[in-house]
């Protein structure tokens, strides 16, 4: 079959299980696509074709024996380079970790493999996964396949660029402040940040994460269809005893009225006309699908949640972060840390306690909000995808970038799932919306996302566009 790499993960898994396509054929097509387009975008920074083909052959053997090959039977995927994959270096885009070879898989990698996924390669991230722009001194720059003049997003920029260009049908990403949702937005695909505890994760190769990371960082999928995100979530979320935060919550919660809140400017965010128009359009798409949509301006605190999240993410262990960044010498990582130094150094024990106390109040307020609405639809960012390296231009540009990202940064602090759905293009720049629901209600995000997706999305996968 021609262009197997164009198929959705859902269709491909079905055809592999029915033996219309072999897993080896799918893997061969994925590797050929990688060879064809990756030199232009540098999304995948480590891969071993012989291991990919061996994984695929094992799937074909299992199917031939009549065994269950899993939800993702033979589907080629990518894994972000900041999680452990046995035999590969967990570099996190950092030369200091180039020899940090994992002995064991991260639970999310084990779950993907148990579901029958075939790993094609490992995707790029900014140094230490700090930025909204994917480049580092070890692996180089990742380009946005739709327009190299704009960022592919970060930190899962390699993941988003890969799946947009047809390298793999699902991409694994991580998100502590928007690192799944923003790359999906910037590249014109979809990305799901699940609730903390939904998908188990643990890097045995690294020291235990600080409490801020433990309670706000997640793994999740990026894909070209919302249906593929649903499939990937089911595969990724199986129990693993290594993650003490894992929660056995059902993937489908109780039925809820299809009622959506629409917020054009969460927390008073300044949004461009193109971004506001995309949110308004998403509301109309939901209404056409039978949803009741109500525009709101009075929502629980969001800007405050973003401020607390930056503290929890960067302040706990700040001096060690700065020391590592200096030794690495990465200008982007140093810019992020220096740009938030005042915030980071304000976190003493009393402030840390206040953050966790305030978090409980904000989570409660949002949970009560979701008693009235199934979801809220808002901008993922106040602007269209940023021009390449905008945050390094000057202090004003740095502040502008982080202010625009407030809707994404806030979400991990309040602990709710978020889904970015790409809805169109403004010239070459993708645009879309962020859908948020209550804790462990990814199913409501996905349901609303499918209704919005039905109104149209950017064409995908695509051949990378040159400058």
Output the pLDDT for position 46.
98
**Sign of the CA dihedral running 351, 182, 160, 147:** negative
Q: Is 179 a catalytic residue?
A: yes
Residue 150 placed within a domain:
yes
Catalytic annotation, pick one of 155, 156, 447, 460 = 155
How far CA 29 is from CA of 1, 78, 273, 374, 435, in Å, comes to: 10, 14, 41, 40, 33
* 57 falls within a domain: yes
Say what the pLDDT of residue 426 is: 98
- Confirm whether 213 is domain-assigned: yes
Residue 323 lies in a domain: yes
Residue range 377-399: average pLDDT? 98
The mean per-residue pLDDT over the stretch 30-44 comes to 98
Helices (H), 249-387: 273-288, 303-314, 318-328, 331-339, 341-345, 349-372
The arithmetic mean of pLDDT across residues 161-185, rounded, is 98
How high is the pLDDT of residue 434?
98
Q: Is the pLDDT of residue 1 over 70?
A: no
Active site residue 155: yes
- Tell me, yes or no, whether 258 lies in a domain: yes
Show the domain range for 95: 4-453
**Does 174 score more than 70 pLDDT?**
yes
pLDDT in tens, 205-227: 999 999 999 999 999 999 999 99
Q: 418-426 and 429-436 as β-strands: parallel, antiparallel, unpaired?
A: antiparallel
Examine the residue annotation and report whether 143 is marked as an active-site residue of this protein.
Answer: no
Residue 315 is predicted with a pLDDT of 87
pLDDT higher than 90, residue 42: yes
Mean pLDDT of the chain: 97
The pLDDT score that the predictor gives to residue 347 is 87
Question: Per the domain annotation, does 462 fall within a domain?
Answer: no
Whether residue 2 has pLDDT greater than 80: no
| Residues 413-463 pLDDT 10s | 999 999 999 999 999 999 999 999 999 999 999 999 999 999 999 999 999
In a domain, residue 20? The reply is yes
What is the count of structural domains for the chain? 1
Question: CB count, 10 Å around CB of 414?
Answer: 25
CB-based contacts of 94, cutoff 8 Å, min separation 6: 127, 128, 136, 138, 324, 328, 330
The single residue of 129, 156, 179, 447 carrying the catalytic annotation is 179
Residue 321 has pLDDT above 70, yes or no: yes
In a domain, 361, yes or no: yes
Active-site residue, from 22, 24, 80, 429: 80
Q: How many CA atoms lie within 13 A of 403 on its CB side?
A: 12
**How far, in Å, CA of 300 to CA of 73, rounded?**
42
CA dihedral 160, 165, 169, 171 (to 10 degrees): -20
Query: Residue 37 belongs to a domain with what CATH number?
Result: 3.90.1300.10
Tokens representing 388 are: 């390449």
């Amino acid at each position: 079959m021609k262009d197997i790499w164009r198929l959705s993960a859902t269709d491909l898994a079905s055809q592999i299980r029915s033996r219309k396509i072999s897993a080896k054929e799918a893997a061969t097509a994925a590797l050929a696509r990688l060879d064809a387009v990756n030199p232009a975008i540098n999304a995948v920074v480590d891969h071993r074709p012989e291991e990919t083909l061996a994984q695929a052959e094992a799937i074909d053997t299992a199917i031939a024996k009549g065994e269950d090959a899993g939800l993702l039977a033979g589907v080629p995927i990518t894994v972000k380079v900041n999680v452990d994959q046995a035999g590969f270096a967990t570099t996190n885009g950092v030369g200091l970790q180039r020899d940090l070879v994992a002995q064991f898989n991260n639970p999310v990698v084990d779950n993907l493999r148990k579901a029958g996924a075939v790993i094609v390669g490992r995707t790029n991230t900014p140094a230490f996964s700090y930025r909204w722009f994917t480049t580092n001194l070890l692996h180089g720059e990742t380009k946005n396949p739709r327009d190299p003049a704009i960022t592919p997003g970060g930190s899962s920029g390699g993941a988003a660029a890969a799946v947009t260009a047809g390298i793999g049908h699902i991409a694994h990403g991580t998100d502590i402040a928007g690192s799944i949702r923003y790359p999906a937005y910037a590249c014109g695909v979809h990305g799901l940040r699940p609730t903390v505890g939904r998908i188990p994760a643990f890097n045995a190769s690294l020291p235990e994460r600080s409490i801020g990371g433990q309670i706000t960082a997640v793994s999740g999928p990026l894909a070209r269809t919302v249906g593929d995100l649903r499939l990937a979530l089911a595969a990724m979320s199986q129990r693993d005893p290594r993650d003490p935060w894992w929660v056995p919550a059902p993937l489908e919660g109780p039925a809820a009225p299809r009622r959506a809140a629409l917020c054009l400017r969460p927390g008073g965010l300044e949004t461009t006309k193109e971004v506001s128009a995309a949110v308004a359009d998403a509301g109309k798409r939901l209404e056409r699908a039978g949803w009741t949509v109500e525009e709101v301006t009075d929502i629980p605190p969001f800007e405050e949640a973003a401020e607390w999240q930056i503290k929890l993410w960067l302040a706990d262990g700040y001096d060690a972060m700065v020391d590592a960044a200096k030794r690495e010498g990465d200008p982007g990582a140093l810019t992020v840390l220096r740009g938030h130094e005042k915030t980071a150094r304000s976190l003493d024990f009393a402030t840390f306690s206040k953050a966790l106390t305030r978090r409980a109040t904000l989570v409660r307020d949002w949970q009560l909000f979701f008693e009235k609405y199934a979801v809220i639809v808002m901008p993922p960012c106040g602007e269209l995808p940023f021009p390449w390296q905008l945050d390094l231009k000057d202090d004003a540009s740095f502040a502008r970038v982080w202010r625009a990202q407030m809707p994404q940064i806030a979400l991990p602090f309040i602990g709710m799932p978020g889904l970015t759905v790409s809805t169109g293009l403004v010239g070459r720049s993708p645009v879309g919306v962020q859908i948020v629901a209550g804790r462990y209600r990814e199913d409501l995000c996905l349901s609303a996302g499918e209704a919005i997706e039905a109104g149209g999305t950017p064409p995908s996968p695509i051949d990378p566009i040159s400058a």
